[in-house]
Structure formats: structure tokens, C-alpha cells
Structure 1
Amino acid sequence: MRYPPIAIVVSTFNGQKYIEEQILSLLQQDYPNISIIVRDDGSADKTVDLLSKIQKANPNIRLIFGKNIGVIASFNELLSLATVQHDYIFLCDQDDFWHPEKVSISWSHMLDAEKTHGRNAPILIHSDLEVVNESLKIISSSFWRFQKLNGHNAARLNRLLLQNVVTGATIMVNKALVEKSLPFPPEAIMHDWWLALNACLFGKVVTIERPLVSYRQHGANTIGAHGAGMTGLFVKLADLDSVRSRLAATIAQAETLRKMNASVLSPEDLNTIDSYGSLLKGHRLKRLALWLNNRFFKTGLMRNCGLLLILLIGVEIGKATRQNSN
């Protein structure tokens, strides 16, 4: 069997506590042809020293030391660099731990997807994760169950516009998707979400229900795992303006996606994106009708209850809040 070269791209920032353990899990993959490209985003701790030590013993690791530009821009640079010599790329965080079969299983799914859709189709592979504590002790065997998420919603545009269910640390992409998605625009909320949207619209999203990454939870997580339920709903309802702002950010992301691809989008996808862009406009009954007719639903009753409140009263509450502060 032929094993084409695969790149794993890692963006680090002050990751000294877990980076050695993470890189070790990459080096222990059972896929035989892997290169690792690490870009440090201006760490002020010992991350760079640790990476340099690891590289001396592992020549297939390439290190790039840059100024602090943020995680999205850092992955933009990494993906651009990786596609020069690689047709397949994995995204990796600095503090998780990969299961040894992660690359080979994802590669198998990529092969199947390209056989069906062609190598020129933008393809994204993603999987479930197990949630672990700082010592890698399991908190939950499924991140999706823990968060009450449906990983298959990554292939449904009306769901993905509203809620990202693709975790960057699980992603494998092909070169066609990278070329379609870069550069990440300022409106992209996160790089993994933008990649998923482009794969959903122009290619294929493949969901692996098996956890292939141990998703470490600790105090410094950029985006962590938090159980979904009534408590989370009450917290959100206490700050409806913030929830409405986040919804507005997803709309801005969708509108940018439309602007960049209007000439090649199908009429059905154009209608879905246009309808989503109108969710915060007009009379509340119009907003409610758009929501229901297009099934712009999140996963879980509690999340949709919060969204319903925003659509019915969120605009008015936002106005009232601003008036009271003047």
C-alpha cells in the first residue's frame, strides 16, 4: 500500500506544560510517512526550548518561530506552508494527546471520500474526542455526548452556519480544501469552522464517530469542554446582549462566505445563507418564520430555547439595554 506524505501542523503559544507529551503522541502514530510542522506564536515561556530539544532527536519536525499573530493567522500560515509539499494535512493543538491510530484511520476515510468524490473535491475529516483531565484521566468517553452535540451536523449547512461541531484538533483536510478556504477572512470566527463551511458547501465532510483524540481540559484552554444543560442556559439568558452578539458574528461569517462565493453557490445554498443573514432583521414573527422554515436549529432543547428568546425578544432587549445606559 502506498503511504503518501502527510503533514501535521501545530500552532503553539506558551504551551510548555503539555507540548512534549503532545508531540510524543504524534511521533507514535502508526502511519509511516509523517512530517510535523510547528509554528510558535511568540511564546514567552519555555515552549521554544522544549521544541528545539525535541527537534534535535527528530529531524522530521520543522520549527518556525514567529511573532504573535493569533491562532487563526498562525494556522493560515501553517496550512499555506504545508500544501507546498503535502496533499494531506492534519491540524493539531498543543495540549491534547492523539491516539496512535488517529492518522491511519482518518487517512482511510479520506481515501474512501476521494474515491467517491474525486481528489479535486474539498474534503474534511473530523472525529469525536474523549474528554480528559490534566493527567489524561477520562472525564467522558465522548465529547459529543458530553456537550450534547451531533457531529453529523457538520454536513448540514443550515446547522453548521449556526453552530460549529468540528473540533480543530480532530481535522484532516486535503489540499483542495486548503486552497478553497485560504486566506481566512477577518470574519472567520475560528479556522476550523471556516474550513468546515467550505467543505460542506463545495465538497464533503466526513464524520468519524470514534474518539481519536484525548481532549485535555485545564485552566488555560482557549476553547474547552463544558457540559451543556440548564445552568449554561441560565448563564446565557443573563447576558442576552452577548448571546445576540455571538449570533451576529455567525451571520457576518455567513455573509462573507456568500460574498466570496456568490457566483458558484447553488440557488439552494444562496437561499439558505440569505435567510440566515436575515435572522436578526425585521419583525419578530418574520424572524421566527425564517428560523422554523429553514430549521436553523442547534443541537439540544436548551440551546434552542435560548436562541428562540433571542429571536423573539433579543433585539428589543438589546435596544433597551443601550437606552438605559445612555
Structure 2
Amino acid sequence: MKVEVLLSTYNGERYLNELLESISDQKFNGDIELLIRDDGSSDKTFQIVDSWKNKLNIKFIKGKNLGPRDSFGELIKHANLDFDYFAFCDQDDVWFDNKLDFAIKKIRGMNRTLYFSNVQLVDSDLNPLGSNRDRIRPVLSLEGVITANPALGCTMVMDRELMRELKQVKLTPFFMHDVAAIMLAASTGHIKYELQPSMMYRQHIESVTQGHDFWKNIKNKVDFWFFQPNISISKEVDEILTNFEENINDDHTKDVLIQVKNYRQGINRFKLAVNKKFRVNSTASNRSFILRVILGVA
């Protein structure tokens, strides 16, 4: 059994050793290859990666700065389909030692299946913040996934067939690698979730501070909704319908995708906005989805 871990690095010298040590410590009865693409680092990231080549099986790609979306897009292009399973990883993660083993046991024998998990929230120095990201299980229906992506990409593990599909998806500023992966799994396969955390997830002071700035959050959301190019859930589902229709789970799934694809036509946006199946456990996420649909910017 072989797993390929996809990691994009960028000036990661502060945290990278802790991540690589946690991958090296995995209690996993199989082979792990770490596929790393560096996104134009100017610090000691390369030297740190090189120092781990005696302990980890590392394949390294040195690239120019593309940003997270396109860097992970390049990693997906280079993912080796000779492997059985694939995992995404961020450079400031710290994995628990059973992360891979537990995930693969949950999806072994299944086809087109995505696993993701909860995370333990910690500060930049790995001090626990006293809570996990999810307090209850997220909504995993296709409608729920469309309303608000419940998954952190850094916890995702998937099988070969789902990665094969993911390789065919055109990523956009909104259709990130993790969003595309869970949308595919919800449409053509299966999703497995674990409420127990699989890793420590750093909350850097910048993101914590920004999270409490109400008006800055509002401005960022308005800018994101109205001024980002290619942001369109309807285009995302159209791509799935166009490229993977033969793999779609059932008629209900197809109907949901068609409804979202055509939501801007006539009164369809209001029908979608009031459809209570498009609801998750977060009031803020529900309100955001409804508003974006009514305004036609979802």
C-alpha cells in the first residue's frame, strides 16, 4: 500500500521541520512518498527539505511563485497514479502519528472516496487553544457541500480514482484543489468524516486578529463576491456535469447539479435561496449562501 503526500512550500523554514518530523513519525504500514513543490521560496526551505531526504522518500519540484491554487494544481498534475492513496498537506501542519493509518482504514475498499477530519486548534507555538474546529459533525450532503465547504484540504485523504478525476478539473480562483476534491466526491463518489482531530492546526495571530475585525471581514467578503474573476458555483457544477456525468451517483445528484448550474435563470435563484436542503450548521454560512444566490454572485 502506497500513499503520496502532496505539499506546497513557500518560505516555510519556521515550521517545516515540525511537519516533516510528524510525517516521519507516522505509524503506517505502507510506503509514503512526499511530493513537494516549492513555490519560489527565498529562505532555507530547500535546505530543510534536503536535510530530510535520508529519513523520508521525497520527490522535490522547484518552481516559480504561482500562489497556493496553482502550486497545488501543479502538484495534482504530477501526482503519480501508481500510488493507492493521496493526501494534501500544508507546511505549518503537525500531524498526529495515526493520521494516515486511520484515514486509509476508513476508506479502504471504497471507490472515489474522500476522507477528511476535524483538527485541534493551536497557536503558532503549538499551544492548544482549548477547542477543535468542528464541535459537531458537518453536513456532508451535496447540497451542504455546495452551501459551504466543510473540509480543510490539509486533512484530506483520497483514493486513486478520485485523484484521477481531480486531475481533469480546471482550477479557478474559487475552485481550489480542496473545493474541487470534495465537490467531486459528493457528486461522483463518497465522503467520510472523522470528528476526532487528526492534526494540530495553527491559528496564526494575523488570522485570529482579522477574524475579530467585523467590518474588515464584511469588506473582504464584498470584494471577494463582486470583484474576483471566475467565481461561480454554476460554472463549477457545469464542469462536473460536462466531464463526469457518467460517474454521477444518482438522479437526485444530477438534479441538484442542474438546479445550481441554472440558478441565475428567471426565478431559479429565489427557488435555490429558499431550498432548505441547502443549509449547514452555521447560521453565518447559510446567510452568506442565500445572499450570494439572490444577488447572483454565488
Q: Fold match, TM over 0.5?
A: yes
TM alignment of 1:202-281, pairs within 5 A:
202-218=188-204, 235-236=217-218, 240=222, 242-243=224-225, 248-265=231-248, 266-281=250-265
Asked if the contact 2:166/2:180 (under 8 Å) is kept, the reply is yes
Match of 2:48 in 1: 50
Measured after TM superposition, the shift of residue 255 of structure 1 is 2.2
Q: Bigger shift: 170-179 or 246-255?
A: 246-255
CA distance in 2, matches of 1:8, 1:239: 32
Contact 1:8–1:91 under 8 Å retained in 2 = yes
SS of alignment partner, residue 198 of structure 1: helix
Tell me which structure has the larger Cα radius of gyration. Answer: 1
Residue 161 of structure 1: how far off its partner (Å)? 1.7
Distance in 1 (CA, whole Å) between partners of 2:211 and 2:206 is: 17
Match of 1:26 in 2: 23
* Count, aligned residues: 293
Shift of 1:48: 1.0
Structure 1: 5+ residue runs without aligned partners? Answer: 319-326
How far, CA to CA, are the matches of 2:291 and 2:216 in structure 1? Answer: 12
- In structure 1, the partner of 2:275 is 293
Alpha-carbon distance in 2 for matches of 1:250, 1:225: 29
| 2:147–2:285 CA contact under 8 A, matched in 1 | no
**Which residue identity lines up with residue 43 of structure 2 in the other structure?**
D
- Aligned sequence identity (%): 23
Partners of 1:241 and 1:74 lie apart in 2 by: 23
Moved more, 25-34 or 95-104: 25-34
- 5+ long unaligned stretches in structure 2: none
Q: 1:177 is aligned with what amino acid? A: L
Offset of residue 195 of structure 1: 0.9
Cα separation, 2, equivalents of 1:138 and 1:202: 37
* Structural RMSD (CA): 3.0
Correspondent of 1:105 among 93, 102, 106:
102
CA distance in 2, matches of 1:36, 1:128: 22
Residue of structure 1 equivalent to 2:33 = 35
1:135 partner amino acid: D
Q: Which of these residues, 172, 178, 187, is aligned with residue 157 of structure 2?
A: 172
Any idea what the Cα deviations from partners look like across 1:202-233, whole Å, max 9, x if unmatched?
Answer: 11111111100101122577xx89869xx759
TM-score (normalizing by structure 2) = 0.85
CA contact (8 A) 2:87 2:158 kept: yes
What is the rounded CA distance, in whole Å, between the counterparts of 1:61 and 1:81 in structure 2?
Answer: 13
Structure with greater helix share of residues: 1
When normalised by structure 1's length, the TM-score is: 0.78
For 1:182, the aligned partner's letter is K
- What's the counterpart of residue 10 of structure 1? 7
**1:271 shift after superposition:** 2.0
Alpha-carbon offset, residue 24 of structure 1:
0.7
